[in-house]
Each structure stands twice: as C-alpha cells, then as structure tokens.
Structure 1
Amino acid sequence: MPGALAEPLSVTDGPLTSENAALLRPSDPTLPLEELRARYNADGYLFLKQLLPREDVLEARRQYFSYLTPTEVLKEGSDPVDGIFNPKKDPEHYPGIGAGAVGGNGRPGGENAVQFVDRAIEAHYKEWYVEKLCHHPVLYDFVAKFSGWGSDTLTFQRTLLRNNVPGTKPIGVHYDQIFLRHGEPTSVTAWVPIGDIKVNGGGLIYLEDGDAVGLKIEEEFTNKAKQAGLTEEEARSAFNSNMMATGLLSEYPAQFAKVHGRRWLVSAYEAGDVVLHKPHTIHASTINNDSDGVIRLATDLRFCDSSKPYDKRWTNAYRFGDGV
C-alpha cells in the first residue's frame, strides 16, 4: 500500500505519520497454517486478506444501512451499501457503541439519538447479521483449524456491531482481555470490516508488539488490584477503581504509543478482510476522516476454546449496561 500514510491520518490526540505509524503486515489465508500461526504469535495479530466472500460482507452492509434508513443517517438518494453519511445531519446524533461508554457500557447519545441507537442495537439480533455474518462457515472453519480447537470452537453470541460516522469519537486504547476477565485468556477476536475502509476512514490500528505490552500491563494491574484490596469480583470487572471509568487504557493513542516506545500499525481494509488478534493485543481506531463521507462499519466477533473456562457473560447477546 505505497503512500498510505500520505493521507491525513489522525487519532484523538494528534496525527499519525511515518514517525509514529507503519503498515500492518497482510497475510494470505492460503499460506500454511504453521506460517500463519507463527505470524500471529510474533505480531499478536493476523491480517487476513479476503478470507470471507466479499459479496457476503457487502450484503450485510446493505442490510444494515437499509434497516437504519428511517433514521436519515444516509445521504439522500445514495445507495445503502455505500453507507454515505447525510451531510445535513449532526454526527453527534449518530453515536457508535461499545468500549468507551462511561459507567460500564452505558447508552450513548441523547434524546436526538434514540431512534438511531435503538436500531443499531436491534441490528445485532437480525438474521442477516447473526446467521449470515457472525456464524459464517468460512470464518468458523478457519478459526477452528487455525486455533486447533476443532469442534470445541465456540462463537460468542455477544458481538459489537459498530458504526462510526465521519468526525465522531474513535475507539480508545484497550486490549480485549480487560472485558473478558471472567475466563482464561484463550479467546481469539476476529475484527471484520463490513465494507471497504480507507486508511483514514476510522479502521482499527494495532500497537507494534502490543501483545507484550498488554501482558505486562495486565500483570501490573493484577498486582495493583491485590495491593488495593480489590475483591476477586472487583478485579474481574473492566470498570474497577484501578481502570478508567470506560475500561480503556487511554483516550490518547499518540501519547500512549510514545510512552511505550512503539508505533501504531495501520491499514486500509476491504470487505472480505478479517483481522484476528490475541486477548492482550493493544488496539484502538483512527478518527474517520473519509473525504467521501463513508460511514465505517465493522464488527468484533470472538471465539474461544469451550473445553477451558471462558467468560459466560459473552454467551448473551449485547445489551446496554450488561457490565461487560
């Protein structure tokens, strides 16, 4: 992706340039499993190009934005599959969901956002999303073989279907085990972009060698929690007194990377791409600065080895205030 960093690329606290950012390493899903596993273990992530059939992913995108059309989020006369934001509307009336909501995954937005937020949540239960995308056989079969879990591979029912209209708040710095502490750190997250995302379109970014940093932070957190006298239940919660109120590590990715002497790894994404990452791999997202007004849509799907202890809270569908 020559020149990818030449596009204006920014996070909450400043720009990402060749000084503090580099490109994710893409991988062909047809490579030998041993090589793919080696890359995953070395990098903490595996960026799989065109693992899923592109047309299947785009159909989910079309269905999602067709369902949200009554909220007037889309530009008048545009095709739902394009997901072009309505320039006549206030972006703040169309908030995203998930990590970063104060108070343990609370409801975002005010009164003007009610219809949009309701439909964004209801989309999590639709057949075209749950059956056609979350349980896509190509993805499940790949994870089952890649992980070696086989028939013990369990797809968590709780997913995070996130929209991000241009200019709105991006996802803060975190690693997934923060929200999965009721189980062993054996899960695999599959981040699935639902549509093409330009390099400056709000896609996920990964901290260079972020798995090692996440593991160290988790160890420090465990020690701090013990010293603070937190109960086991309090320590398991992502929203405890030793973390930010949002469960995040930081709202400032540029500063976070500088403190840890790392760069952020970025990429453009295409419908059909999937990124697998480890439980402690640190990631965030950029601000959606797409010049064409394209709404970034993606989902977080998680898998675990059901033969080992896992976080049972993730077997329930997403809902506000579920404390996860």
Structure 2
Amino acid sequence: MVGVLHENITVNDGPLTSDNAALLRPSDPNLPLEELRQRYEQDGYLFLKQAIPREDVLDARRRYFDYLAPTGVLKEGSDPVQGIFNPIKSVDDYPGIGAGAADGNGRPGGASAAEFVDRAIEAHYKDWYVDKLCNHPALYALVARFTGWGQNTLTFKRTLLRNNTPGTRPIGVHYDQIFIRHGEPTSITAWVPIGDVKMNGGGLIYLEDSDAVGQKLEADFTAKAKQAGMSEEEARSAFNSNMTANAMLSDAPADFAKEHGHRWLVSAYEAGDVVLHKPHMIHASTVNNDPDNVIRLATDIRFCDSSKPYDKRWMNFYRFNDGV
C-alpha cells in the first residue's frame, strides 16, 4: 500500500496512511447481479463506477453552483461547474449543511453566512436536484433491480445535499440506522458524489468490515437500555444519548478505527459514481484538502422496501431542526 494513498488525506484527528487505511473496492455495474449482491453482503458497501450518466450529474453540479454563485462563494471568473472556492473569502461564511456542527442538523453559521445557508437549503427543493438527480431513472432502476424490491422500491424525500468547502469540518463517524431508527434496518443508502472528488478532496470513507461492528454497537446499547427498564420506544432513542452532541459515534475517526482494529477505506470519485451501503455500515468523511480549492458536493439518497415498516419521517424534505 505504500505510495498508493495520497500524502494529504486527513481526518479530524490526524492523517490516514497505509498504516490505517486502504482503498475501496470498485465494481462495474454490469457485473452479474449475484456477484454484485455477494460483494455488497461481504463488504457492507458497493462502489459502482459510472452508474449514472456523468453529464446528468455534472448538470446538477452546474445548476447548484449557478444558484449559489450570487453569495460570492465561487472564484471570480471560474466556471460554476468547477465549484472552485473563492480564495479571498472566509470559509466561516460558507458552512456545510449537516457536516457535523455541534448543533446537529440545526442552522449553521452566523449572520454573514445567512444568504449562502438559505440558498444551500433551498437547493434541496429544486426540480433540477429532486427530479433530475434524486429521482434519476437510472439510479432508481439500479436499486430496484439490485435489491429485488421492484415496484416496492421507495425513494425517501429527505436527502442531505452537502457542500464542503476546503478546510471545513468533515462528517463524523456514524452509521445511517442511527437516524432511520423508526423503521426496520432494511434501507439502503446511495452516496452520490456530484462532481469529481480527489483522493484528498473530502470524499466518503468506510470502516473496513464494519457492518458487523455497527450491528453490535446497536445491539449492545439496546440491550442495556432494556435492562435498565426502558420501554421499546425509549430504548430506540437511548443510543443517541451515548454519542456525541451531533449524534455521531465519534469525531475522531483515526482513534475510532484504532480502537476497533479496522482500517478506513478511501477512494477518489468521479461524477457518475455511486456507493451503495448498508444501514449499519460505519462511515465518515475526510477533510477537504483539495489543492485546487474545489468544493466537494455530494448527496445521500436513501431507499426502502415500502412493503415493510419504514421511517415515515424521511418522507419529508430536509429542513433544519426537523428532529431526524
């Protein structure tokens, strides 16, 4: 692994190197369905290359930054689709949505960030995002076929359209069932990078073989809660009181990996790539150290089998302080 990982991949508590990290395994979407399912079950994720037409993803990226451009976030004279951060601006005025702030999914930033934050949240409701990307027919068809859910495949309306300007705080360590616990753990998440993301550009990272780790953490806390006399509803929410203020397992990915004896899996990503992952698969993101000052833009699109109990709270569009 020496020389494979980029020299400037960092998380909140230090660097990721060949000692504590390795590369994600990519998969061709055209591989036999059973092989793809086997990889997903074995790894807890499925990193699919060019699962959505690249031009469609880049169109969403262009539309997003066109919409946010009036806030001054982009480098003067640059093409919006590049998403290059304005070097004369302060990153404090351009905070990410849901990127691990102390107030959870509350409104980030102060008065100077108001216009940027308003536009970043409003982008969640635009047709070029909701209709053209979140409900892209290629992505829906892929998930429906892969899961075998067919016409029961339901796309959650609630998504997290995250922008991460260079140097800002990355996403902490978590798994998705923490936030979707009002339904059975049968959902599937599609992480979609909206644009190319360099190895050190703030992309998602996965803790190797951690689906079982997440399930054990969940089971241990649930058992303790019930032993303490909590009701099923109280036990369901008890887990969150044992985590950080923003409902994360940890804000120190390097230490978390060392504690559990697992490596982080990293990758560069291209527009059109999709990573599917299980509801207990542990993941986080790296600090955006992009040398070209490119803003990392990505979204989490989640699906479930509508014939089984699912978390109805996720059928509302994302809003600040929505309690999810």
Shift of 1:239: 7.7
Aligned to 1:322: 322
Does structure 1 residue 188 correspond to structure 2 residue 185? no
Aligned to 1:27: 27
Kept in 1, the 8 Å contact 2:99–2:169? The answer is no
Aligned to 1:269: 269
Partners of 2:243 and 2:103 in 1: how far apart? Answer: 12
What amino acid is the match of 1:288? N
Partners of 1:256 and 1:147 in 2: how far apart? Answer: 31
Shift of 1:302: 0.1
Q: CA RMSD in A?
A: 1.5
Shift of 1:231: 4.2
What amino acid is the match of 2:131? E
Partners of 1:107 and 1:151 in 2: how far apart? Answer: 36
Shift of 1:226: 2.1
Kept in 1, the 8 Å contact 2:28–2:48? The answer is yes
Q: Which runs of 5+ in 1 are unaligned?
A: none
- TM-score norm. by structure 2 comes to 0.97
Give the direction of change, closer, same or farther, for the CA distance of 1:64–1:186 in structure 2 (3 Å limit): same
Give the direction of change, closer, same or farther, for the CA distance of 1:157–1:302 in structure 2 (3 Å limit): same
Q: Which runs of 5+ in 2 are unaligned?
A: none
What amino acid is the match of 1:37? R
Aligned to 2:156: 156
Which stretches of structure 1, 4 residues or longer, exceed 3 Å deviation after superposition? 1-4, 101-104, 227-240
Partners of 1:137 and 1:2 in 2: how far apart? Answer: 40
Kept in 2, the 8 Å contact 1:101–1:107? The answer is no
Partners of 2:46 and 2:117 in 1: how far apart? Answer: 31
What amino acid is the match of 1:29? P
Aligned to 1:132: 132
> Pairwise mapping of residues 102-251 of structure 1 onto structure 2 (< 5 A)?
102-237=102-237, 240-251=240-251
2:109 alignment partner, SS class: coil
Partners of 1:188 and 1:59 in 2: how far apart? Answer: 25
Partners of 1:93 and 1:214 in 2: how far apart? Answer: 35
Question: How many residues matched?
Answer: 324
Shift of 1:198: 0.2
Kept in 2, the 8 Å contact 1:234–1:240? The answer is no
Shift of 1:103: 4.3
Identity %: 77
Partners of 1:258 and 1:286 in 2: how far apart? Answer: 16
Shift of 1:112: 1.2
Kept in 1, the 8 Å contact 2:218–2:239? The answer is no
Kept in 1, the 8 Å contact 2:51–2:139? The answer is yes
What amino acid is the match of 1:260? H
